[in-house]
Structure 1
Amino acid sequence: MLIVAFTLLLIITKCKGKSRAAMTLYGLSVTTILLYFGLRRAAGATGVTTNGTMTSFGLFFWKYLGWMVLPIHMSMERSTDTPPPGWSRNALAAWLCLALACAVLMIVCRKIPRLRIGFAWMGLGLLPFCGIVFIYQGMAERYTYVASMGLALIIVVIGVESRVRWRPFVLGLIAVWGLWGIYRLETRIADWSDAARLYRHSLEATPRSAKLHYDLGAILEERKDFARASCEYKKAVGLEPSYEPALAGLGNVDLNLGRANEASRIFQKALQLKPDDVKTITNYGTALQALGKIDAAKTQYKRAITLAPHSDDAYCDLGVLLFRTGDTDNAVRQFLNAAEMNPDDPIPLFNLAAIYQKSGRPDLAMKLYTRVLQLNPGDADASSALQSLIRHN
């Protein structure tokens, strides 16, 4: 829809009165948008049926303008910043301030006519994202990108049109603002170089985002920082008690810290919310196994295999359980299934090699340890076991 509006704005700016070229350009833009809707209809695409709201328009507008003028804390997830629909004192105050700003702009634009194009561009760029059109994810910083071109044009015009004696001061402010923008851009680029830093700095802007707390917790868990991972998962669950991924993550942390009983309880709660989460089912089986509930653990592993027959994790865990209970033949069968599902996973191959080594079949064990080291050259256990076999054979 913005194509039509911006094309018309360009025509008004460049063409004094009607011209064949201008009308042709506008006709092409209208044809483009009609073709787009025609193709959507032909493909059977359906749009969002929920309507936007005008009550929060002012709140949206001032938030977006603040991000454009002075971006301090930025976030990759802005859903928790979305203003609530309906009238409130803040919504009414935002509308009144917007009306006052428009009145002031009308006076200013009479004195500096070239400001009109900048304000028109910024307004058109922001309009669809200020609550008029329903957007499923609420707010996002990227919605200001097009509108910010209008803001930049406004600033340039102010610098050019300012009085000669004030011009150095105005240009100095613009330079400081530009340097601030460069600093924020460089900071944001650095944020994207490290996932934990990105999530942590994003949380400074949107501290009530359960999704960001979960993402940060997952990164910390992956880095074996279980204490801080647990803290982030708890914050996510505190914000959204039914957020299943955070509950499952909290259970994983407890399992890694040896708190199998707490992990089992949390996994049960997570599975009530999402009964078909294969990873959680598998980890729940591991917790039950740690508690000595062998039959219950087997049930969970088999349930995970039924739900995801092509995933090797449950096969491996079930194989370990069967081997520890003395059922070596079935354990080997599970590890072979896991290796078939994922030939590039060294874990089932290592377990098979260990079984063959203990069963007096060093030739098979040596081949499997060699394959493990090909897949994971830094595996110290496989390297040590292979060297031991070579020395004794």
Structure 2
Amino acid sequence: MPKHQRLFTILVCLGLWGQGVPAFAQALLPYSPKLDSEKIEQQGLELAEDAIQLVRFQQPEAALSRAKLSTQLAPGHFQTWFILGTLYIQQEEFDAGIDALNRALALEPKEAGIFFTLGSAYFQRGDYQTAIAQIDKGLKLKPDNPAALFDLGNSYYKLQKYPKAVEAYQKAVSVDKKFWPAINNMGLIKYEQGDLAGAIKQWQAAVAIDKEQAEPQLALAVATYAQGRQQEGLKMAEAALTLDSRYADLKFLQENLWGERLLSATKTLLQTPQMQAVIARLQAASSDSQQ
């Protein structure tokens, strides 16, 4: 039976489809159907799985709709609330997301992923101290999660607690030696602290892990330009922005935790006539591809 027909049947059985049934119609029923709660819950879990697939196919609204329904059909399963909360967070509906995640946590208090996602939600709301507290709770349950350690480092970074941030980043790399974002962000800290050589070393290590990542390449370009090797820096910057032109936007860089020193140096590089021409060309090419 197609899923939408099965769902229709469930809604009818639950009395949620077509309110106010006439009394004579009810009298015609020889018996009341017995609800199969296990099948209803299974339908809810299937809808939650559908929501995950829709996210993968970049259909967030449809995913959220299915996730909401899944919590109605399977409210006693933490997975449905967990998925719903995660989808709310992705759409920046933080209050609704945190509420759903807390409901998931009440059902499964030992699921580290819920704490990690709560930490992400509070981080995005700018409540870095609460983010740290939530992530720490998750790490007590699952200490070797590089993504969570990275988020912990970012939270400390926003509070300018650089030693703790570096410690978290180093732990992430010790778990996954190819976790380049943590290496990259250690470079961001070193640059803000005035350690240009140390920053360059970190960004070079990040690029060595993944040559297709624009962020450490642009950071290297900025550092190279600031050292006086301007033509080399410009060439490196063009290559980085060709990989991902979003990094030409200072606001986007700030969202990716680039500090004031690095942003200032990047602004100087991006405002050169050579880079303005590169940015214009990349923007034109992007517009053409979208038409």
Other structure's SS at 1:241 match: coil
Q: What is the CA distance between 1:140 and its match in structure 2?
A: 3.7
TM-score by structure 2 length?
0.65
Look up the match of 1:110.
none
Other structure's SS at 1:220 match: helix
- Contact 2:238 2:275 (C-alpha < 8 Å) held by counterparts: no
Look up the match of 1:351.
219
- Contact 1:362 1:389 (C-alpha < 8 Å) held by counterparts: no
Q: Which amino acid aligns with 2:271?
A: S
46, 60, 72: which one pairs with 2:11?
72
Question: Given the superposition, is the C-alpha separation of residues 212 and 365 from structure 1 closer, same or farther in structure 2, using an over 3 Å criterion?
Answer: farther
Structure number with the bigger relative contact order (C-alpha 8 A, sep ≥ 6) is: 1
- Contact 2:115 2:135 (C-alpha < 8 Å) held by counterparts: yes
- Contact 1:322 1:331 (C-alpha < 8 Å) held by counterparts: yes
Other structure's SS at 1:237 match: helix
Question: Given the superposition, is the C-alpha separation of residues 332 and 387 from structure 1 closer, same or farther in structure 2, using an over 3 Å criterion?
Answer: closer
Question: Given the superposition, is the C-alpha separation of residues 141 and 203 from structure 1 closer, same or farther in structure 2, using an over 3 Å criterion?
Answer: closer
305, 323, 329: which one pairs with 2:197?
329
Task: Please give the residue correspondences for 1:240-255 in structure 2 after superposition, counting only pairs within 5 Å.
Answer: 240-255=108-123
Other structure's SS at 1:70 match: helix
Look up the match of 1:233.
101
Question: Given the superposition, is the C-alpha separation of residues 242 and 290 from structure 1 closer, same or farther in structure 2, using an over 3 Å criterion?
Answer: same
Task: Please give the residue correspondences for 1:254-265 in structure 2 after superposition, counting only pairs within 5 Å.
Answer: 254-265=122-133
Look up the match of 1:288.
156
Q: What is the CA distance between 1:337 and its match in structure 2?
A: 1.3
Q: Which amino acid aligns with 2:11?
A: I
Other structure's SS at 2:271 match: helix
Look up the match of 2:280.
none
2-structure distance, mates of 1:141, 1:203:
10
1-structure distance, mates of 2:129, 2:225:
34
Look up the match of 2:228.
360
- Structure 1: where are the runs of 5+ without partners? 1-65, 74-96, 102-129, 131-138, 143-187
Q: Which amino acid aligns with 2:184?
A: C
- Contact 1:316 1:348 (C-alpha < 8 Å) held by counterparts: yes
Look up the match of 1:388.
271
Q: What is the CA distance between 1:333 and its match in structure 2?
A: 1.2
Question: Given the superposition, is the C-alpha separation of residues 221 and 359 from structure 1 closer, same or farther in structure 2, using an over 3 Å criterion?
Answer: farther
Q: Which amino acid aligns with 1:287?
A: S
Q: What is the CA distance between 1:314 and its match in structure 2?
A: 0.9
2-structure distance, mates of 1:328, 1:222:
35
Other structure's SS at 1:305 match: helix
Once the two structures are superposed, what CA deviation does each residue of 1:165-190 show, in whole Å capped at 9, x if it has no partner? xxxxxxxxxxxxxxxxxxxxxxx99x
Q: Which amino acid aligns with 1:377?
A: S
Q: Which amino acid aligns with 1:259?
A: D
Root-mean-square deviation over aligned CA pairs? 3.7
Task: Please give the residue correspondences for 1:359-378 in structure 2 after superposition, counting only pairs within 5 Å.
Answer: 359-378=227-246
Task: Please give the residue correspondences for 1:148-163 in structure 2 after superposition, counting only pairs within 5 Å.
Answer: none
2-structure distance, mates of 1:219, 1:69:
25
- Contact 1:236 1:246 (C-alpha < 8 Å) held by counterparts: yes
Higher-Rg structure is 1
Question: Given the superposition, is the C-alpha separation of residues 234 and 355 from structure 1 closer, same or farther in structure 2, using an over 3 Å criterion?
Answer: farther
Percent identity of paired positions between Structure 1 and Structure 2: 20
- Contact 1:366 1:389 (C-alpha < 8 Å) held by counterparts: no
Q: What is the CA distance between 1:277 and its match in structure 2?
A: 0.9
Look up the match of 2:184.
316
Once the two structures are superposed, what CA deviation does each residue of 1:70-127 show, in whole Å capped at 9, x if it has no partner? 1339xxxxxxxxxxxxxxxxxxxxxxx9xxx9xxxxxxxxxxxxxxxxxxxxxxxxxx
Q: What is the CA distance between 1:328 and its match in structure 2?
A: 1.6
Look up the match of 2:85.
217
Question: Given the superposition, is the C-alpha separation of residues 211 and 387 from structure 1 closer, same or farther in structure 2, using an over 3 Å criterion?
Answer: same
Other structure's SS at 2:272 match: helix
TM-score by structure 1 length?
0.50
- Structure 2: where are the runs of 5+ without partners? 13-30, 45-49, 253-265, 277-291
Q: Which amino acid aligns with 2:158?
A: A
